């Protein structure tokens, strides 16, 4: 009988251990490792939520930018960290999804298994933008122009939305678009503003100042639905173009190394839910024209499972590869 009592007590202690760990979490600064350069949508989202998490937990939240390698540099750094709830990944889902298809050596070949997905944030609408003197102001006018002459589209990386849109237009619509890859959205937008390239796909937040000064012109939304910020701007579907790359949905992903205690993951997700309605986060969402609230845990995992094959199939079907 003493042995049975000891077993029961031991089992109860083991069951209580994750909860006790979660209650003492965090015990040191939290790191958000960002897979993109500072200054973009991920950086703004991570810092806005980090501010709230710091206020609620009393621990600093440090945002570290580690761009490059189809997000694999940041992903590897997080996977290599202890799964104790103090290191998290902020990345764009499409880059994680595309990496196994595009890289010969992949640091994290199965991101869906290497990470526990905690939250997914909408990056806001993706806009198709042209230089100010391009004689095209609608999707149809652009397609006709790109069929008649060679144009250059700026992309923020192999397998990115702009790359897939350009490849899709060439293969399915008969356009003559040359794709030029940039290390980030900002240099692509600057080159568009001075006329070095003819078009690109950019975020609302990143493009706003250049749109307001008339240096670049939005002609369509490429990410599905219209945006309330630009209610008169059509989608490609509105113009009759319903090909897959015009309907891709993307996410900003918050993920923890696989094996992170579930109570900590749940607590982080709860902090994200609470922080969504704080002034700093509302301001960040407003700046990016984001209307949706984040999806959390299982709900987000289901959404990713639906979107992952859409991106991968588009990449395979269009023959997109690393040059």
d(CA 36, CA 283): 20
pLDDT band at 16 (very low <50, low <70, confident <90, very high): very low
Say whether pLDDT at 168 is over 60.
yes
Residue-wise pLDDT tens digits, 249-266: 889 999 999 999 999 999
What confidence score (pLDDT) does residue 21 get? 53
d(CA 164, CA 88): 28
What does DSSP say about strands 216-221 and 126-131: parallel, antiparallel, or unpaired? antiparallel
Q: DSSP letters of 109-155?
A: S-HHHHEEEEEEE----EEEEEETT-S--SHHHHHHHHHHS-EEEEE
d(CA 78, CA 98): 18
Residue percentage of the chain with pLDDT more than 90: 67
Residue-wise pLDDT tens digits, 282-305: 998 998 999 899 999 999 999 998
pLDDT band at 171 (very low <50, low <70, confident <90, very high): very high
pLDDT band at 1 (very low <50, low <70, confident <90, very high): very low
pLDDT band at 5 (very low <50, low <70, confident <90, very high): very low
pLDDT band at 104 (very low <50, low <70, confident <90, very high): confident
What confidence score (pLDDT) does residue 18 get? 53
What confidence score (pLDDT) does residue 4 get? 47
What domains does the chain contain, in order, with CATH numbers?
A: 2-123+251-317 (3.40.190.150), 126-246 (3.40.190.10)
pLDDT band at 192 (very low <50, low <70, confident <90, very high): very high
Residue-wise pLDDT tens digits, 79-89: 999 999 999 99
CA-based nearest residue to 194, from 151, 132, 137:
132
What confidence score (pLDDT) does residue 158 get? 85
What confidence score (pLDDT) does residue 22 get? 57
User: Can you say whether the dihedral through the CA atoms of 298, 69, 41, 250 is positive or negative?
Assistant: negative
pLDDT band at 8 (very low <50, low <70, confident <90, very high): very low
Q: Please say whether the beta carbons of 43 and 65 come within 8 A.
A: yes
Q: Please say whether the beta carbons of 95 and 85 come within 8 A.
A: no
What confidence score (pLDDT) does residue 323 get? 55
Say whether pLDDT at 202 is over 90.
yes
H or E stretch covering 268: helix 262-275
d(CA 186, CA 188): 5
d(CA 11, CA 235): 57
The two tokens of residue 230 are 């630009």
d(CA 136, CA 147): 12
């Amino acid at each position: 009988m003493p042995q049975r009592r000891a077993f029961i007590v031991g089992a109860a202690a083991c069951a209580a251990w994750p909860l006790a760990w979660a209650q003492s979490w965090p015990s040191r600064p939290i790191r958000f490792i960002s897979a993109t350069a500072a200054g973009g949508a991920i950086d703004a989202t991570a810092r806005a939520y980090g501010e709230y998490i710091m206020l609620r937990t009393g621990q600093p939240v440090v945002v570290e930018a580690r761009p490059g390698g189809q997000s694999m540099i940041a992903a590897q750094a997080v996977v290599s960290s202890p799964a104790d709830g103090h290191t998290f990944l902020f990345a764009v889902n499409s880059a994680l999804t595309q990496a196994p298809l595009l890289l010969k050596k992949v640091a994290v070949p199965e991101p869906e298994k290497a990470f526990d997905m905690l939250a997914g944030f909408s990056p806001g609408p993706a806009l198709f933008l042209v230089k100010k003197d391009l004689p095209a102001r609608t999707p149809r006018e652009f397609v006709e122009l790109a069929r008649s002459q060679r144009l250059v589209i700026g992309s923020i990386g192999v397998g990115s939305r702009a790359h897939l849109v350009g490849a899709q237009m060439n293969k399915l619509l008969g356009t003559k678009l040359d794709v030029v890859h940039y290390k980030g959205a900002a240099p692509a937008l600057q080159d568009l503003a001075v006329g070095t390239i003819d078009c690109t796909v950019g975020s609302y937040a990143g493009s706003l100042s250049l749109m307001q000064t008339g240096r670049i012109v939005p002609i369509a939304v490429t990410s599905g639905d219209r945006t309330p910020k630009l209610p008169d701007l059509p989608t490609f579907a509105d113009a009759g173009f319903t090909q897959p790359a015009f309907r891709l949905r993307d996410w900003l992903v918050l993920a923890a190394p696989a094996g992170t205690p579930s109570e900590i993951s749940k607590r982080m997700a709860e902090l994200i839910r609470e922080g969504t309605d704080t002034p700093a986060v509302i301001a960040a969402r407003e700046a990016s024209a984001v209307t949706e609230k984040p999806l959390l845990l299982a709900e987000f995992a289901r959404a990713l499972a639906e979107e992952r094959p859409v991106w991968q199939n588009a990449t395979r079907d269009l023959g997109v590869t690393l040059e």
